[in-house]
Amino acid sequence: QVQLVESVGGVVQPGRSLTLSCVATGFTFSYSGMHWVRQAPGKGLEWVAVISYDGRVKYFADSVQGRFSISRDNSKNTVYLQMNSLRVEDTAVYYCAKDPGSGGSGSYYFEKWGQGTLVTVSS
C-alpha cells in the first residue's frame, strides 16, 4: 500500500535552513504529483508547495514563495522541501502528500498523507 515517510524535522534557529525529504513506496512515484502541507501547532492545514510528476511544474504558497523550494528524485522515489530563511511562523508539522493525478496535470488534492514531521523554528 501507499506509504509516505518524512525525514525527521527538528529545531532550527530563525534565518537558518532545513531540508525535509519524503520517501514514497507502494505506487509509481514517477507518475504522481507530490505536495507539502503544513499544520502549525493547534491550527488548521496550510498547503505549502506542489511539484509535478516530472519536476517541471512547481507552485508555492505566498507565505513561502522565494524562501522554500521543492524538488524530486524519481530514481529514489523521494520528494524534498528545502526551507531557507526560516521564520518562527514556519513552525509546524510538515506533511508530504500524494496527488491522485497521474501524469499530465495534477488534481491538487491529497489522496494519501505521510505521518508528518515537526519543524520548530526558535532561537
Partner 1 sequence: DIVVTQSPGSLAVSLGQTATINCKSSQSVVYRGNNKSYLTWYQQKPGQPPRLLISWASTRESGVPDRFSGSGSETDFTLTISSLQAEDVAVYYCQQHASTRPTFGQGTRLEIK
What residues pair up with 58 in beta bridges, in sequence order?
Answer: 51
Q: Which of the residues 20 through 79 are near partner 1 (CB under 8 A)?
A: 44-47, 50, 59, 61-62
Q: Does 111 bind partner 1 (CB under 8 A)?
A: yes
Taking the complex as a whole, the smallest distance from the CB of residue 100 to partner 1 amounts, in Å, to 8
Helix (H) / strand (E) element for 91: namely none
Question: Given candidates 71, 77, 112, 120, which one binds partner 1 under the rule CB under 8 A?
Answer: 112
Q: Which three cell numbers stand for residue 32?
A: 504522481
Name the residue with cell 524562501. 67
Indicate the residue among 28 and 107 with the shorter CB distance to partner 1. 107
Q: Exposed/middle/buried for 90, CB within 10 Å: 0-12, 13-18, 19+?
A: buried
Q: Does 116 bind partner 1 (CB under 8 A)?
A: yes
From 32, 25, 46, select the one nearest 119 (Cα to Cα). Answer: 46
What number of chain residues touch partner 1 (CB under 8 A)?
Answer: 20
By three-state DSSP, how is residue 92 classified? strand
Taking the complex as a whole, the smallest distance from the CB of residue 48 to partner 1 amounts, in Å, to 10
User: Using CB under 8 A as the criterion, which residues of the chain lie in contact with partner 1 when the complex forms?
Assistant: 44-47, 50, 59, 61-62, 95, 100, 107-116
